[in-house]
Amino acid sequence: MLNKDDYKQFTEKMDKTISVLKDQMNTVRAGRANPAILDRITVPYYGTETPINQIAGINVPEARLLVITPWDGSALKEIEKAIQKSDIGINPQNDGKAIKLIFPPLTEERRVQLTKLTKTYGEEAKTAIRNVRRDAIEFFKNQKKKSIITEDEQKDSEKEIQNFTDKHIAEVDKVVAAKDKELMEI
């Protein structure tokens, strides 16, 4: 007899995929200041690669301005270098105490490029969800082979897994559509 716990491991993997997708979408610059854009950037700090948000305060005083204030002034130059080397496409402005990132409005061409990127992230997430579905169906087929479940239960499990898959794919589409809408706003 199947119960909710039989599906839990698979639905958790699908939920994790959605969570990763949302994190990826936060790193896509939408013309507005968003501290999440700095999440992937690390700085050499006392011999260790350290995320910027662990060595500095990050504020958003205006919609298009991000201010990074290091707790240790000696890290200022390293933070500036790390931002310049990164792929965020914004030149940091160092005033000696803090670094300012001014987000320019996105050009139409850049908006289109970014929507293509969000669609790519969405397709990767859908593929991951479909892989989880495949693993789940394989798991239940093996259960059937071992006579742990009946053929009817196997068919029911496949329908249930397909329902979970459809819900998660729809969620991916919603996340991508929301980010695309944000990117296309002027």
Please give the pLDDT value at position 62: 87
- Top-tier CATH class for 35-102: alpha beta
Q: Which helix (H) or strand (E) holds 45?
A: strand 42-45
In this structure, which amino acid lies at residue 89?
Answer: G
Handedness of CA 102, 106, 109, 115 (dihedral sign): positive
Contact 171, 20 (CB under 8 A): no
Phi-psi region of 89 (alpha: psi -120 to 50; beta: other; left: phi over 0): left
In this structure, which amino acid lies at residue 38?
Answer: L
Each residue's pLDDT tens digit, 94-127? 998 999 998 888 788 888 888 898 999 999 999 9
Each residue's pLDDT tens digit, 140-164? 999 889 888 888 988 999 999 999 9
- The CATH number of 4-26+107-184, from 1.10.132.20, 1.10.150.300, 1.10.1740.10, 3.40.1550.10, is 1.10.132.20
Indicate the average pLDDT of the chain: 88
Dump the DSSP string for 108-158.
HHHHHHHHHHHHHHHHHHHHHHHHHHHHHHHHHHHHHHTTSS-HHHHHHHH
Is the pTM here over 0.75, yes or no?
no
Please give the pLDDT value at position 113: 86
